A and B are shown apart, each in its own frame.
Chain A
Amino acid sequence: MSNSSEFRTCPDTGLHIDRPAEKLMKANAVAAVVFLLVGGVMGLGVGLTRWPEVHLLGAQNFYTTLTGHGINVLIFWIIFFEIAVLYFCSSTVLRCRLAMPKVAWGGFALMIVGALMNNFAVWKLNSAVMMTSYAPMPAHWSFYLGLILFAVGALVGCFIFLGTLVIAQKEKTYEGSIPLVAFGALTACIIAVFTIVSGALVLLPTFLWQLGLISTIDPGVYRLIWWAFGHSSQQINVCAHVSIWYLVGTIMFGARPLSEKVSRFAFLLYIAVLQVASAHHLLVDPGVSAEWKMFNTSYAMYLAVMASMVHGLTVPGAMEAAQRARGYNNGLFEWLRKAPWGNPTFSSTMISLFGFGFLGGITGVMMGTEQLNLIIHNTIYVPGHFHATVVLGTTMAFMGITYWLVPILFRRELILMPLCKLQPYIFGLGMTGVSLFMMGAGTMGIPRRHWDATFADTSMPYEFAASAMSLMSLNGLSVVLAGLGGAMFCLLIVGSLLFGKKLGENEKCSYPLIVDAVTDEQYDALHKTTKNTIPGTMVLYTVFLLAFALYYFINWKYLAETWGLS
């Protein structure tokens, strides 16, 4: 290593941290949390408006706030955090200096400028077009330009990551293949590059169209390319949060993957099926053939689904095997009962795993089935589904790892530990309510992105079933809980950065940040006593599969009751 003076060794974890990379990780993570706070407040405003008895915002304000909510949380919070994750998984995990830190700062600046410009367009330049900005509904040109600048900045981050992998290989900072976590991040990065190119394909023409340089945009083609971008960006999130699941297995339990081959192959599947998986957003669009829809969902999506199902088995499986090898080997679930439920990193990760699998995954397959989409498309079921994937799944995984990163990167201890312990449960419970109640209401037809489902000012009003409305009220209550949990997170993290107990460079944190890896001997001893090292996981997984199958066929039954279509 040429400039080893740039490194410091973390006294708690033994990680080698490149200082320039560290500064960038901090900046990106802080920006992420700020956008989460801003976007989360908007989410609260949206949620309180959709609570029929409260109906907080006026119509115009509601649509503007909803646009801002979607973009700030789904794009800005998540991607800033992902850039930090990419730097961690390359530079820190591989003990390598970060490639071109100056350029990385340039990318960061572009992202900040883009994010601010886009928010300005939404709030001040009359661009309440929702994050999807479906043409031909126009936004101000700076709406698109802001997103383009942000995307270019993120692309720079991807290349810094790839550059760092190249340096690590050249300078031989590791031996053999890169670790699983870095491998997962690499798949995320490859998908990100594809995603950003699709984004450019769709945003550049709309930008030029708003400048008057292009006369028309085909609305169907727009949707096709937008979703090539919108869908694959969700695949980046999945790769990123699954990598974090594996990371947490290691830092909490010293676990090793059940099989590197299986896990890595599952990551590769995400890339293999990427290009075509966007059609499950177009299942009820005109001009898309049935064959294409079926090919696209089954070939592309179920392979991705299967990949996630494999991770959903191997992540808890690896934790179970490690716990058993450490001696928590009684009964089916001692390993789980004796897990560190009071550690916010662990509890967030488990809520992420279960929420993503049971709620997000099952419902995603449901909606992504060609015919079943007819009874779901654009109802509030859709936000119900993705608050399970992108909030319970991705956001909670990121929150969990943030608790872990604060002392490591910022050399500050967490403040108000009892509240930190509580926060994942409050946010998780609230968000579970948000997704379940929105899904319930959506099954009864309540539309998404809709200011007033009571139709008070309409000349031909429609009255939804009272039960649908009560589900929206329950959703409102859950929104308050989720808002509370989200606010707690942001305040606890920012508070820890400002007021947490300072740790010197070589001072250990007062609580452990990583456990020793389970040794080969421990694993061998476990294998001698039992053939099946993951019986508990298998029971949970069976419950999951049965729930999946039951729910899937119930929805076919619902479909059969609606009007005939041919």
Chain B
Amino acid sequence: MTSITPTGKRIWWNEPIEKGELIWIGIIVIWGIVLTVMMPAWHLYGEQNLSTETYRTTPAMYQEKTQKMVDQYTIRTEGTRQFPVVAPPVGSDVYLIARLWDWWPILELKEGQTYRLHLNSMDWNHGFSLQPVNLNIQVLPGYEHVINVTPNKTGEYSIICNEYCGIGHHNMVGKIHVIK
């Protein structure tokens, strides 16, 4: 009886399993359990767990909230396109717009402090990809995703887009400064 001959009179689910094979299956199952347990364990003991707080929103509503923050906390402008650099208070709600093909505005955050960062797209899917720490989050239109971020080192970070969003996709780069 090979893999292309029928089982004949033998009934496959009654066949005994060799002991050696059973031991390996046991090891595989234990490994599966380890893999499963690591996730809730990281929720308890780890420091990188993505928040799931999400609200329905519209481009107009989200634009308005972001504009309000920009009006209130802009400290300077930067780059050839004069993007506002916004330094919101520690712990506050910080809004970031993803749109064809910008991340707007530029943010200035403090090391070791936690902020409520809101992500939303004005149009299509985008990919928030923070470099060089390589933190990646999907950004959808209509869904306002609120994540709590704690930058752990000062420096200049770039946000690149890693969800294909049309012909300007590769030019969609934003910035976050982290200062003392």
> Which residues in A have some Cβ–Cβ distance to B below 8 Å?
59-60, 63, 93-94, 130, 134, 136-137, 174-182, 218-220, 223, 246-247, 249-250, 254-262, 264, 282-290, 293-294, 297-298, 302-303, 305-306, 309-310, 313-314, 317, 365, 369-371, 373-379, 443-445, 447-453, 455, 457-462, 464-465, 517, 531-532, 534, 538, 541, 545, 548-549, 552, 556, 559-566
- The answer to whether A262 touches B133, judged by C-beta atoms less than 8 angstroms apart, is no
Q: A246 contacts which of B3, B119, B138 (Cβ < 8 Å)?
A: B3
Report the minimal beta-carbon distance from A179 to chain B, rounded to whole angstroms: 5
Q: How many A-B residue pairs have CB under 8 A?
A: 299
- The answer to whether A290 touches B138, judged by C-beta atoms less than 8 angstroms apart, is no
| Cα–Cα, bound, A430→B6 (Å) | 39
Q: B137 contacts which of A284, A451, A455 (Cβ < 8 Å)?
A: A284
- The answer to whether B32 touches A305, judged by C-beta atoms less than 8 angstroms apart, is yes
- The answer to whether A464 touches B130, judged by C-beta atoms less than 8 angstroms apart, is no
Report the minimal beta-carbon distance from B3 to chain A, rounded to whole angstroms: 4
The answer to the question of B81 belonging to the interface, with a C-beta cut-off of 8 Å to chain A, is yes
- The answer to whether B6 touches A174, judged by C-beta atoms less than 8 angstroms apart, is yes
| Cα–Cα, bound, A545→B24 (Å) | 11
- The answer to whether B141 touches A297, judged by C-beta atoms less than 8 angstroms apart, is no
The answer to the question of B173 belonging to the interface, with a C-beta cut-off of 8 Å to chain A, is yes
* Central interface residue in B135, B143, B173, by most chain A CB within 10 Å: B135
Please indicate the chain A residues that have their CB under 8 angstroms from the CB of B173 in the complex.
455, 458-462
- The answer to whether A365 touches B135, judged by C-beta atoms less than 8 angstroms apart, is no
- The answer to whether B131 touches A462, judged by C-beta atoms less than 8 angstroms apart, is yes
| Cα–Cα, bound, A453→B169 (Å) | 11
| Cα–Cα, bound, A502→B40 (Å) | 62
* Central interface residue in A60, A541, A559, by most chain B CB within 10 Å: A559
The answer to the question of B92 belonging to the interface, with a C-beta cut-off of 8 Å to chain A, is no
Report the minimal beta-carbon distance from A59 to chain B, rounded to whole angstroms: 6
Given contacts A176-B9, A303-B32, A365-B35, contact A250 B48 (CB under 8 A): no
* Central interface residue in A176, A179, A365, A460, by most chain B CB within 10 Å: A460
| Cα–Cα, bound, A469→B127 (Å) | 21
Ordered by A's residue number, 14 sampled pairs between the chains whose C-beta atoms are within 8 Å are A176-B6, A176-B9, A177-B11, A179-B7, A181-B3, A261-B14, A262-B21, A290-B50, A303-B32, A370-B39, A371-B48, A552-B35, A565-B47, A566-B150
Please indicate the chain A residues that have their CB under 8 angstroms from the CB of B47 in the complex.
560, 564-566
| Cα–Cα, bound, A531→B9 (Å) | 27
The answer to the question of B84 belonging to the interface, with a C-beta cut-off of 8 Å to chain A, is no
The answer to the question of B25 belonging to the interface, with a C-beta cut-off of 8 Å to chain A, is yes
Please indicate the chain B residues that have their CB under 8 angstroms from the CB of A464 in the complex.
131-132
| Cα–Cα, bound, A365→B39 (Å) | 12
Please indicate the chain B residues that have their CB under 8 angstroms from the CB of A59 in the complex.
167, 170
- The answer to whether B21 touches A258, judged by C-beta atoms less than 8 angstroms apart, is yes
| Cα–Cα, bound, A111→B47 (Å) | 49
Please count how many residues in chain B sit with their CB below 8 Å of the partner chain's CB atoms.
90
B window 1-20: CB within 8 A of A: 1-18, 20
| Cα–Cα, bound, A410→B43 (Å) | 57
Task: Label chain A's interface by main secondary structure.
Answer: loop
| In the complex, residue of chain B having the shortest beta-carbon distance to the beta carbon of A15 | B4
The answer to the question of B72 belonging to the interface, with a C-beta cut-off of 8 Å to chain A, is no
The answer to the question of B152 belonging to the interface, with a C-beta cut-off of 8 Å to chain A, is yes
Given contacts A298-B36, A379-B129, contact A220 B140 (CB under 8 A): yes
Report the minimal beta-carbon distance from A441 to chain B, rounded to whole angstroms: 11
Mark contacts of B91-128 with chain A using CB atoms, 8 A cut-off: 1 yes-contact digit, 0 otherwise.
00000000000000000000000100001000111010
The answer to the question of B165 belonging to the interface, with a C-beta cut-off of 8 Å to chain A, is yes
- The answer to whether B162 touches A563, judged by C-beta atoms less than 8 angstroms apart, is no
Please indicate the chain A residues that have their CB under 8 angstroms from the CB of B145 in the complex.
286-287
- The answer to whether B49 touches A371, judged by C-beta atoms less than 8 angstroms apart, is yes
| Cα–Cα, bound, A282→B174 (Å) | 23
Report the minimal beta-carbon distance from A535 to chain B, rounded to whole angstroms: 9
| Cα–Cα, bound, A181→B79 (Å) | 62
| Cα–Cα, bound, A448→B161 (Å) | 10
Report the minimal beta-carbon distance from B156 to chain A, rounded to whole angstroms: 9
B window 129-168: CB within 8 A of A: 129-145, 147-152, 158, 160-167
| In the complex, residue of chain B having the shortest beta-carbon distance to the beta carbon of A180 | B3
Report the minimal beta-carbon distance from B34 to chain A, rounded to whole angstroms: 8
Please indicate the chain B residues that have their CB under 8 angstroms from the CB of A134 in the complex.
124-125, 163
Report the minimal beta-carbon distance from A517 to chain B, rounded to whole angstroms: 5
Please indicate the chain B residues that have their CB under 8 angstroms from the CB of A517 in the complex.
2, 5
| In the complex, residue of chain A having the shortest beta-carbon distance to the beta carbon of B134 | A445
Report the minimal beta-carbon distance from B84 to chain A, rounded to whole angstroms: 13
Report the minimal beta-carbon distance from A150 to chain B, rounded to whole angstroms: 22
| Cα–Cα, bound, A461→B14 (Å) | 65
The answer to the question of B73 belonging to the interface, with a C-beta cut-off of 8 Å to chain A, is no
| In the complex, residue of chain A having the shortest beta-carbon distance to the beta carbon of B153 | A563
- The answer to whether A298 touches B39, judged by C-beta atoms less than 8 angstroms apart, is yes
Given contacts A287-B54, A565-B148, contact A220 B7 (CB under 8 A): no
| Cα–Cα, bound, A220→B114 (Å) | 27
- The answer to whether B50 touches A445, judged by C-beta atoms less than 8 angstroms apart, is no
- The answer to whether A259 touches B18, judged by C-beta atoms less than 8 angstroms apart, is yes
